[in-house]
Structure 1
Amino acid sequence: MLTITNKIYSSRSTDFEVHRNWLAITQSLPVNKWYFENTSQWTLDYPPLFAWFEFLLSFPAAYFDEKMLNINHINYSSEKTVLFQRLSVIFTDLVYAFGVYKCSSALQKGWRKDVVLPILLITNCGLIMVDHIHFQYNGVMYGILLISIAYMLQGENLLSAFWFTVLLNMKHIYIYLAPAYFIYLLRHYCFKGALNVKNILSRNTLKHFLALGSIVIGVFLVTFLPFMDHIPQVMSRLFPFKRGLCHAYWAPNIWAVYNTLDKFLFFGAMKTGINLENKTVASMTGGLVQEFSHLVLPNITPVLTMVLTAICMVPAMIKLFLLNKQPTNFVRCIVVCGLTSFMFGWHVHEKAILMSIIPLSLDSHE
């Protein structure tokens, strides 16, 4: 019992304070001020559905310790606050467990999907470390992703699109997986059947387009409607490109190699007598990484990372479009999209690798 208690109150990262602050923002302020509040450096920068998620959590939080809901109580971490935050992650992990169950049920019968797959997903050490040590709520979001994938495996395309749109409105990083959804639904739901002019322009295709579009647009409208008068402010929080090319803890992707090469070239140039007096060694590992200039190599812009990511996704998109309607091909394309964004994306967190690892586990049943 003492060991469990020690683990509850033990290590936690800055994200513990991030989510405590978001609880305070959503509980203490009116909706039209959520994305303007900046008392803490950890401002609200997730989409509105996640803000509403924090708002709902703030009600049981008040029964544990009302002081945690005070915006001015920066870095507040009473024992009751820590206990609530830990329990809230454990409780919301039930969504992830349900997603695992849905995917296991959607796959073909066999001991691999009944035994191996649940073990791989439930005991994913990366997810456990990120949520329960680093402290975040990724479990609930990966649960929604698995629910969406499960519906796609079952041929329930509209339900899959609905849950994925909900996921995008909870955490926008999953937009990297959207190309796989778009191509698969376009080819195997909207353009269902032969690819010819008659079929593409048919009434059935138009009906499917309208149904799919209504779901996606409808979820976005409901989500953003309360924030319509300050959408630009919301978007500036969701896409803070000034945070820099790399996160404080470099993800092992192409830009980590690029940064390292730039450092070596700089010090090599200095030793060979090349005048670089106007250059200063950039700090790329601080807690809050900001914009910086590379010392020797060309600077990388957000647009360049987007273009490079999109180009590298194209082969997988073409293959998914041309392959027969096999949902496992869709899952593998999600894995490729996740890996591509991890390798070439802007300000990639090391935890983003979970976007590939968790869907990749679904292949274990084969």
Structure 2
Amino acid sequence: MEKWYLMAIVVLLGLTVRWTVSLNSYSGAGKPPMFGDYEAQRHWQEITFNLPVKQWYFNSSDNNLQYWGLDYPPLTAYHSLLCAYVAKFINPDWIALHSSRGYESQAHKLFMRTTVLIADLLIYIPAVVLYCCCLKEISTKKKIAHALCILLYPGLILIDYGHFQYNSVSLGFALWGVLGVSYDWDLLGSLAFCLAINYKQMELYHSLPFFCFLLGKCFKKGLKGKGFVLLIKLACTVVASFILCWLPFFTEREQTQQVLRRLFPVDRGLFEDKVANIWCSFSIFVKIKDILPHHIQIIISFCFTFLSLLPACIKLTLQPSPKGFRFTLVSCALSFFLFSYQVHEKSILLVSFMLPLLLKDELLMPSVVTTMAFFIACAISFSIFEKTSEEELQLKSFSISVRKYLPCFTFFPRIIQYLFLISVITMVLLTLTTITLEPPQKLPDLFSVLICFVSCLNFLFFLVYFNIIIMWDSKNGRNQKKIN
């Protein structure tokens, strides 16, 4: 790619923004007894370093699961252990069993922030740069613009460098997986995605598109020939990668079951806290959690999730293409977020913008600045206020189909433009209201509920939009080796 220096500048800008945000406060700073997600990550280092593997996921006097018990897959635990060894070398007090609980210092904050940055540099940022460089049929300027917008995505920056987590690791592995299977490096892509799942289980949101895309490839090659060989290789790759990640927990059946219970806590109910999905939003009007039995909630959630993602997955299996694969990744992730059981608010990282949920963590200024920078970069790079033709919105086939029955249906692009502006203005007003006004005493959660409800409507619209593109795109089966 020409003008590599521009890509280098973009990467440096992304790193600068990340480190600038990291200089601010973090979740739970100075707020006992739980101290927030920063303490959770530190505590996992303490547990994995001081306790044997068999005790990592079990409740004990040394490992109180009510105090940030480990609830992510083994790869997260191994990462915590690796960080713990470095922490032990620098200052053993940071991970001392029991006595380090709630430990806070500038030196430790610098260490923790650095671990996130290193993970970004090793996994996420290289994947983003390579992905943008591999984009076909677009100019170098557009490739740079894509990289700029991805690296300035406020959701990931604010959660990982403000709130404090390591979401870039799983998202980076997933992006490596997308690159792999899009360029027919199917085994490497499958391995990368398995690592993503084994780092954070929320990557299961993307599992069906990966499965359907690869299965569709096998069908195309023929299940009596090369397709069958590819299917066996893929199965062996997936099984081997999971065995390697889970090997210490396969020694006893109870070990495996306990890890699974920690990863999928169905006893917590349909949803927790305020999350912008269907069930939380609908509960404003009907208290589903109080009316329906627990097992019925699970069944209803499963049915809605399965039915909402089924059309896109069938289309991808029958007509596998990189373009259709990427759209289905977004569509399925939205379906899981909106309809599945026990959704965490950060799961929207897989599909959408960050909602203003971090203001409570004293991250107001980083939130405002990062979001504005991201929005300005997108507006300048992609002219989102001007380019709203049917073809550019990828809705030409759909519009032609509709006009067969409604000839006057010629104003669809303008509707999309107005809806976009209304959405942005509404969220800006809600954010400003949340910052500047106090909610009524009788309705202390008014603003957070409104944000969730409005966001849910936006996500529903995008779910419909992406499914329309997927189902009406007749070109998905062509040019399979291109990444558009």
TM-score computed with the length of structure 2 as normaliser: 0.62
Runs of 4+ in 1 over 3 A off after TM superposition: 4-7, 293-300
Residue in 1 that maps onto 2:75:
49
Report the equivalent of 2:53: 31
2:262 corresponds to 1:237 = yes
Which residue of 101, 111, 136 maps to 2:129? Answer: 101
**In structure 2, which of residues 275, 279, 282 is the aligned counterpart of residue 255 of structure 1?**
279
Distance 1:308 1:192 in 2: 30
Equivalent of residue 11 in structure 1, options 9, 26, 49: 26
Local SS of the residue matching 1:262: coil
Q: Does 1:333 align with 2:328?
A: yes
1:228-272 CA-partner distances (Å, limit 9, x unpaired) = 111111111111112222232x22111122211126xxxxxxxxx
1:133 aligns with 2:162: yes
Structure 1 window deviating more from structure 2 (126-135 vs 68-77): it is 68-77
2-structure distance, mates of 1:6, 1:35: 32
Q: How does 1:37-186 map to 2 (within 5 A)?
A: 37=59, 38-39=63-64, 41-72=67-98, 73-94=100-121, 95-108=123-136, 109-111=138-140, 113-186=142-215
Query: By how many angstroms is 1:296 displaced?
Result: 4.9
CA distance in 1, matches of 2:262, 2:208: 23
Residues 58, 320 of structure 1: alpha-carbon distance in 2 compared, 3 angstrom cutoff:
same
Structure 1 CA distance, aligned partners of 2:300 and 2:49?
A: 39
- Tell me whether 16-25 or 59-68 shows the greater mean CA deviation: 59-68
Retained in 2: the 8 A contact 1:106–1:154?
no
SS at match of 1:245: coil
Aligned AA (1:239): F
Distance 1:354 1:256, change over 3 A: same
Segment of structure 1 superposing worse, 104-113 or 147-156: 104-113
SS at match of 1:169: helix
Match in the other structure for 2:347: 352
Aligned-partner Cα distance in 2 for 1:182–1:239: 21
Structure 1: give runs of 5+ residues left out of the alignment: 194-198, 264-292
Unpaired runs of 5+ in structure 2? 1-18, 29-35, 354-377, 383-482
Q: Alpha carbons of 1:128 and 1:7: their partners in 2 closer, same or farther (altered >3 Å)?
A: closer
User: In the alignment, which residue of structure 2 is the partner of 1:318?
Assistant: 314
Partners of 1:153 and 1:67 in 2: CA distance: 46
Q: CA RMSD in A?
A: 2.3
CA contact (8 A) 1:35 1:233 kept: yes
Distance 1:356 1:115 in 2: 21
- SS in structure 2 at match of 1:357: coil
Counterpart CA distance in 2 for 1:152 and 1:144 is 12
Contact 2:169 2:196 in 1 (8 A): no
2: distance between equivalents of 1:302 and 1:337?
Answer: 18
In 2, are the aligned partners of 1:338 and 1:356 still within 8 Å (CA)?
yes
Shift in CA distance, 308/36, structure 1 to aligned 2, threshold 3 Å: same
Counterpart amino acid of residue 10 in structure 1: S
Q: Secondary structure at the match of 2:213?
A: helix
TM-score of the aligned structures, taking structure 1 as reference length: 0.81
Query: Which residue identity does 2:104 align to in structure 1?
Result: S
Identity %: 32
- Alignment partners' CA distance in 2, 1:252 and 1:8: 29
Report the CA distance shift for 1:239/1:52 in structure 2 as closer, same or farther (over 3 A): same
Cα distance in 2, alignment partners of residues 86 and 7 from structure 1: 6
Tell me the secondary structure at the aligned position of residue 99 of structure 1: helix
1:45-83 per-residue CA deviation (whole Å, 9 max, x = no partner) reads 111111111111111112333122123132222222222
- Counterpart of 1:116, as a letter, is A
For 1:340 and 1:301, locate their aligned partners in 2 and report how far apart those are by CA, in whole Å. Answer: 16
Residues in 2 aligned to 1:181 and 1:25: alpha-carbon distance in whole angstroms: 33
Quote the offset at 1:113 in angstroms: 4.4
